[in-house]
Amino acid sequence: MKYAPMRFDGMSLRHNPAQLSISGKSRIKEYASPWFHADSTSLGAELRRISGEGELSGRDCIAQYQALEQRQQSQKRAKLILPHLQPLYAYLRELAVTAKPTDDVLYYRFVFIEAQSPRRSLPGCAYYVTAVQGESLWDISYAYSVPVERLTALNPQIPYIDDLNRGERVRVC
């Protein structure tokens, strides 16, 4: 099965990472007392860390790496699309070449840190958003914390969840 390529900030990588790791932790506060029972409470989840290794290929592999490097140096939050996962917003925290580049192959490793969605919570029901270029129902699902199954039920006019037209109205609730 062929998967869609990894994308970050509008840049499509020709090959998906050979290794991909996604980690997240729950923040738990433990309380201990010599007179009472121990207790704990959840403080929510930490933001996920996405790391991996891959290769850039083609005669422009160094230019591809430099484009990623520029995105890292901009320190801006952008949409990250990975195979098998719902899109998320992230910062490119680390980027490094792992082997001496050749004319047409460059091996690299990366670390992304999840960012919170740039959109606010919903003000009520019968709420619509307008899709921007390159957006999908997955993106809207993540941004508004609405399951993609709910969005597909609310928007039967949208045949493909991975491809919205720019300006297309999407009902969120």
pLDDT in tens, 55-78: 999 999 999 999 999 999 999 988
Residue 122 is predicted with a pLDDT of 46
Whole-angstrom Cα distance, residue 59 to residue 63? 9
Q: Which of 61-70, 101-110, 137-146 has the lowest mean pLDDT?
A: 137-146
Which residue range(s) make up the domain with 148?
128-171
- What CATH code is carried by the domain that includes residue 24? 2.40.30.200
Quick check: 129 pLDDT over 90?
A: no
Q: Are residues 41 and 16 in the same domain?
A: yes
116 or 136, greater pLDDT: 136
Model's pTM, two decimal places? 0.64
Rg, C-alpha atoms of the chain: 20
As a whole-number percent, the residues of the chain with pLDDT over 70 amount to 89
Token couple for 22? 């996604």
In a domain, 1, yes or no: no
In a domain, 2, yes or no: no
